[in-house]
Amino acid sequence: MSSGDGKKLVVLLCHFLLVSLPEASQKTSCRIQGTKADCSRLSLASVPSDLPGNITGLDLSHNRLSQVPPASLAPYVGLLDLDVSFNSLTSLDGGLCRALPRLQTLTADHNEVHVIREEDLSPCGSLTEFRLSGNRLKLKGEVFAGLQSLKFLDVSKNNLNSAKLGSRPQMPNLVELRLGFNTFSTLAKDDFALFSHSESLQVLNLESATIKTVEPGSFQPISHLHILIMDGSNMGTTSISKLCAALSGTSIRKLSLQRMKLVTLTNGTFKELRRTNVTSLDLSGNGLGKIEEGSFRWLGKLDALVLSDNNIKHLTKRTFEGLDSLKQLDLRKALVKSHTSATPIIEDFSFQLLGALETLCLQKTTAREISEHTFAGLKSLKYLDLSWSSYVSLKTISNRTLASLGGSQLLKLNMTATAILQIQHGAFSHLRNLTHLFLDLNFIKQTVGGAEFQGLDRLQELHMSFNHQTITLSPASFVGVPLLRVLTLSKSLTAMSLNLDRSPFEPLSNLAYLDLSNNNIANLRANLLTNLVNLKVLKLQHNNLARLWKDVNLGGAVLYLKGLENMTSLQMDNNGLDEIPAEALSGLRNLRELSLSNNLLNNLKDSVFDSLTSLKVLHLQRSLITAVRPQVFRVPLANLSELLMDRNPFDCTCESILWFLTWLNTTNTTSVPGLREQYMCNTPLAYFNRSITDFDPLSCKDMAPFRALYILNSTLVALLTAIALLVRFHGWRIQFYWNILVNRALGFSDTTPEKGQQFEYDAYIIHAEVDGSWVERALMPLEGNACKFCLEDRDSLPGESQLESIVENMRNSRKILFVVTESLLSDPWCRRFKAHHALHQVMEASRDSVILVFLQDVHDYKLSRSLFLRRGMLRKRCVLHWPVHKERVVAFRQKLLIALGTTNRFPPLL
Ligand SMILES: *[C@@H]1O[C@H](CO)[C@@H](O)[C@H](O)[C@H]1NC(C)=O
Ligand SMILES: *[C@@H]1O[C@H](CO)[C@@H](O)[C@H](O)[C@H]1NC(C)=O
Ligand SMILES: *[C@@H]1O[C@H](CO)[C@@H](O)[C@H](O)[C@H]1NC(C)=O
Ligand SMILES: *[C@@H]1O[C@H](CO)[C@@H](O)[C@H](O)[C@H]1NC(C)=O
Ligand SMILES: *[C@@H]1O[C@H](CO)[C@@H](O)[C@H](O)[C@H]1NC(C)=O
Ligand SMILES: *[C@@H]1O[C@H](CO)[C@@H](O)[C@H](O)[C@H]1NC(C)=O
Ligand SMILES: *[C@@H]1O[C@H](CO)[C@@H](O)[C@H](O)[C@H]1NC(C)=O
Ligand SMILES: *[C@@H]1O[C@H](CO)[C@@H](O)[C@H](O)[C@H]1NC(C)=O
């Protein structure tokens, strides 16, 4: 690389840094919100001049200001709050408050302000809050004297070597003073003298000051002090006594003495507090190992005592002596066992003097045992927290373990994670007032027969989740707790627990919240929840309930949610559900939240969610849903406020997704988090792994008219095909009936046959010459009484032309009878004229007027070609076959006579 390239690179880099760093902080100019301007973290070297003149708050923190000239603030004369913390200011100009006469809050933490003179702050009379921590203050004279309205002053972390901020009385309204993290080691008598003329100071924070000596009377000037915070100031036991002596006679209420290495408390440590009314004492994190008996005897007004995070070895009957008013005792992690120390001991009756105690927290404590006298005397106790503690005695809770609580009025007992293995009969029977019992995260392994909870007839909440799936229920499990409203059994039940003839929940008609999740339940009865008329929340996620809703389930689907009309929230995620019966969710009219994520719901039945008219939140993530069809989703999506259906393998075709996308576009009440990033197409290939919002709805819009056209087209084609086929194979029939209709319409119909017309012959016989002998043989014998035939050869009048004779004779015959043979069909005379005439007769007269007698089997096609007649044109009885068997000839004749004797009328139907 040449040096020229190198320079270019540097220039580019600088450019990149300059341009992109402000961008990286996502803000390039001040953000105005209402009347506040946020100009923090903009690398500003001066106050921006282009902000609205009417702002009241200006945040200039985390910039590079080294000074704030009053003139630069002049445009913002209405400013109430100014924050210039985390800059490089070395001084505060007196003109600042003059430029901003209404300023109330000035925050200048973490700068390099060194010297402040009285005149710098004298114009700041309206200031109420002044923060100056983390500077290098060197106070000369009565610096704060002008701050007449100041209520809050923070000068912590300034390396101040004295707590004295002035000698003249000043800051008459100061309420809170922060002086912590400074280097002074002595609190001198007159340090707070400047506050002696007011009674307003209430809170003094000396956190992490390195105070070793507290001179007597140093708090006298501020005797109205309520709260003193000394946390982390490493005073040690002897200095504490001096501190207490200095506090004697003050109004101190709350004393916070955390992390001060108070390893031992003696009966004298707090002696000097006897002439105070301290109500709250916090001694946490002191490594406290030993508390002498009577150490607290001086604190008769104490209301709350915090001893958490210590290392107390031994509690005796007299440890808490004198704490007659104590209401809260926090012993969280106060008694612990380490590798080097023995297990702490809580003696019997250790708490007996705490008659007013209402809350006792023994969370994460260890002691050798809890006996039947440990909690004796706690007659006001309402809440006992034993969670995460380790007491061998709690492994098996017998009817004596907690007997000492019998005299209390305990409402809540927290035994979460206390390594309980077994609960014996009547274990809680002394706790008549108990409303809340927490037994989560234990190792309870037993069949709950009911006697375990005997006596808890006021219990409202029973929490027994996470018990390693070793609890077995029985029909009587909860008979003793009829008022139960909350029951949690997540990850606690054995597989058989819910497969009982009588539901264990039957007595719980008040139950509103039931958690049965994470139990691997595969079997339950349809009546399991029947009695829970007040159930609102049901959690069934992480079970194995798929089979119960399958059609193929033995005995049909088990509809265990039937009748739970008051339910508002149902969770059935992770159940392997691949079928939901149409009626499974019916009746859940009030359901507001339904969670079905992580199932296999690619085949939802139509209308399966149609009862869910109140639904607000629907979870269907990762459920293999491919199509969002209106038949399934129209109702549940109608009033939704939140839909979570991400990470499904959507099929991005018009059929599957268009409706959903249209709904998404039109809904303005439902939020669909992650729509762009988490809703991806899986099919078809063209859209694979693209957001469903990329789907082009226009491709479907074009299809609508196309589809209509397509349907129309195909219908037409089908129709035409059908007509063509019909015409091809039955055209003659159509033509024939058409002709008949026309004839009838034109009045040639025989519907009223001429009553009086007399026929000379019964039938005019047409036959081929060669068939003359058959006519002789078969038909002539019928002549006589039965009927009379007309034969051309025999009956034509001599002299008449052949044509006229035929026409005349046909007219005189009631019927025309064809003797059909191949020869007849090939006889041109017969074909051309006689047949034509016969056909006319058929049309004009009736279908009955022609009789076909087949001597041979002749194809219909040939028949129509030669005679223009088909078998189908005629009545069935007018089509006769000359029998092969002689014995049937009689029957043939009979038929023939019937055919000849019938009327020529059409049936009225046609
Ligand atoms: C402040 O002034 C700006 C114009 O500079 C104006 O748009 C805004 O409405 C004003 N706000 C108030 C609260 O007066
Ligand atoms: C304080 O304890 C000491 C022994 O440690 C004892 O002699 C003294 O009597 C106790 N004082 C009170 C007031 O109990
Ligand atoms: C403590 O309270 C009592 C009344 O409860 C009161 O008489 C006494 O003056 C108070 N003591 C101090 C130091 O405030
Ligand atoms: C405790 O249970 C034992 C049997 O285990 C019984 O004899 C005793 O009466 C019970 N005590 C109480 C107070 O219920
Ligand atoms: C019971 O103890 C557990 C664990 O310490 C805690 O999370 C829970 O909030 C407690 N319950 C109540 C009602 O205080
Ligand atoms: C405890 O129950 C008794 C009656 O059994 C009742 O008198 C008392 O007020 C209850 N205590 C509380 C704190 O509810
Ligand atoms: C719904 O709850 C009410 C009381 O909150 C109850 O009266 C009603 O019977 C319940 N409905 C059903 C169907 O259980
Ligand atoms: C939804 O709206 C966007 C923008 O208005 C539009 O581009 C898109 O085609 C619409 N989608 C549907 C399915 O209507």
CATH number (domain holding residue 770): 3.40.50.10140
Judge if 559 and 696 occupy the same domain. yes
Task: Choose which residue among 382, 409, 460 to substitute to test ligand 6 binding: the one with the highest number of ligand atoms within 8 A of its C-beta.
Answer: 409
Can you tell me the mean pLDDT for 689-699? 90
Judge if 689 and 770 occupy the same domain. no
**Which of 130, 168, 176, 125 is closest to 149 using CA atoms?**
125
pLDDT of the residue at 679 = 95
- Rounded CA-CA distance 629/589 in Å is 21
Task: Choose which residue among 399, 405, 428 to substitute to test ligand 4 binding: the one with the highest number of ligand atoms within 8 A of its C-beta.
Answer: 399
Judge if 582 and 682 occupy the same domain. yes
Q: What is the DSSP string of 261-310?
A: ---EE-TTTTGGGGGS---EEE-TTS---EE-TTTTTT-TT--EEE--S-
Say yes or no to pLDDT of 41 above 90: yes
Give the model confidence (pLDDT) of 585-633 as tens digits.
Answer: 999 999 999 999 999 999 999 999 999 999 999 999 999 999 999 999 9
Say yes or no to pLDDT of 577 above 70: yes
pLDDT of the residue at 21 = 45
Judge if 555 and 685 occupy the same domain. yes
pLDDT of the residue at 780 = 80
pTM over 0.85: no
361 alpha carbon to ligand 5 midpoint, in Å? 10
Half-sphere exposure of 413 (CA within 13 A, CB side): 23
Judge if 693 and 551 occupy the same domain. yes
Taking CA 627 as the corner, what is the angle to CA 548 and CA 614, rounded to the nearest 5 degrees?
65
Say yes or no to pLDDT of 840 above 80: no
620 assigned to some structural domain: yes
Judge if 792 and 686 occupy the same domain. no
32 assigned to some structural domain: no
User: How many separate domains does the chain show?
Assistant: 2
Protein residue whose Cα sits closest to atom 1 of ligand 5: 414
427 assigned to some structural domain: no
pLDDT of the residue at 841 = 67
Q: What is the mean pLDDT of the chain?
A: 87
Could you give the C-alpha distances from 443 to 304, 420, 466, 504, 540, in angstroms and in order? 34, 6, 8, 21, 22
- Rounded CA-CA distance 820/279 in Å is 131
Protein residue whose Cα sits closest to atom 1 of ligand 4: 399
Protein residue whose Cα sits closest to atom 1 of ligand 6: 433
Say yes or no to pLDDT of 19 above 50: no
Say yes or no to pLDDT of 33 above 90: yes
According to DSSP, the β-strands at 31-33 and 36-38 are antiparallel
pLDDT of the residue at 872 = 73
Give the model confidence (pLDDT) of 261-305 as tens digits.
Answer: 899 999 999 999 999 999 999 999 999 999 999 999 999 999 999
443 assigned to some structural domain: no
Q: Which atom of ligand 5 is nearest to the CA of 363?
A: 5
According to DSSP, the β-strands at 569-571 and 537-539 are parallel
153 assigned to some structural domain: no
335 assigned to some structural domain: no
Cβ(433)–Cβ(459) below 8 Å: no
Question: Encoding tokens for residue 343?
Answer: 């297990």
End residue of a domain, out of 677, 697, 716: 716
Q: Helix 654-666 crosses helix 630-637 at what angle (to 10 degrees)? A: 20
**Over the Cα atoms of the chain, what is R_g?**
54
Judge if 825 and 882 occupy the same domain. yes
Say yes or no to pLDDT of 747 above 60: no
Please, which residues have CB within 8 angstroms of residue 565's CB and are 6 or more apart in sequence? Answer: 587, 588, 589, 590
Give the other-Cβ count within 10 Å of 552's Cβ: 8
pLDDT of the residue at 855 = 83
- Rounded CA-CA distance 805/811 in Å is 10
Give the model confidence (pLDDT) of 789-837 as tens digits.
Answer: 888 777 777 666 777 777 778 778 888 888 888 888 777 766 666 767 7
Cβ(100)–Cβ(123) below 8 Å: no
Protein residue whose Cα sits closest to atom 14 of ligand 6: 433
Grade residue 889 by pLDDT with cuts at 50, 70 and 90. Answer: confident
Task: Choose which residue among 265, 267, 291, 293 to substitute to test ligand 2 binding: the one with the highest number of ligand atoms within 8 A of its C-beta.
Answer: 267
Judge if 585 and 656 occupy the same domain. yes
886 assigned to some structural domain: yes
Can you tell me the mean pLDDT for 469-496? 94
Question: Encoding tokens for residue 69?
Answer: 């000239």
Give the other-Cβ count within 10 Å of 447's Cβ: 14
Question: Encoding tokens for residue 163?
Answer: 């707590």
Question: Encoding tokens for residue 809?
Answer: 């004779």
pLDDT of the residue at 11 = 46
End residue of a domain, out of 716, 738, 757: 716
Question: Encoding tokens for residue 350?
Answer: 């250790």
Judge if 766 and 851 occupy the same domain. yes
Give the model confidence (pLDDT) of 296-347 as tens digits.
Answer: 999 999 999 999 999 999 999 999 999 999 999 999 999 998 877 789 999 9
Grade residue 884 by pLDDT with cuts at 50, 70 and 90. Answer: confident
Protein residue whose Cα sits closest to atom 12 of ligand 2: 267
Judge if 756 and 824 occupy the same domain. yes
Judge if 795 and 840 occupy the same domain. yes
Domain residue limits at 759: 746-901
Judge if 708 and 752 occupy the same domain. no
End residue of a domain, out of 675, 699, 716: 716
223 alpha carbon to ligand 3 midpoint, in Å? 12
466 assigned to some structural domain: no
CATH number (domain holding residue 662): 3.80.10.10
Q: Please, which contacts does 188-191 make with residues 24 or more away whose CB atoms are closer than 8 Å?
A: 188/162, 188/163, 188/164, 188/215, 188/218, 189/215, 189/216, 189/217, 189/218, 190/164, 190/221, 191/162, 191/163, 191/164, 191/218
Say yes or no to pLDDT of 865 above 50: yes
Please, which residues have CB within 8 angstroms of residue 263's CB and are 6 or more apart in sequence? Answer: 237, 286, 287, 288, 289, 290
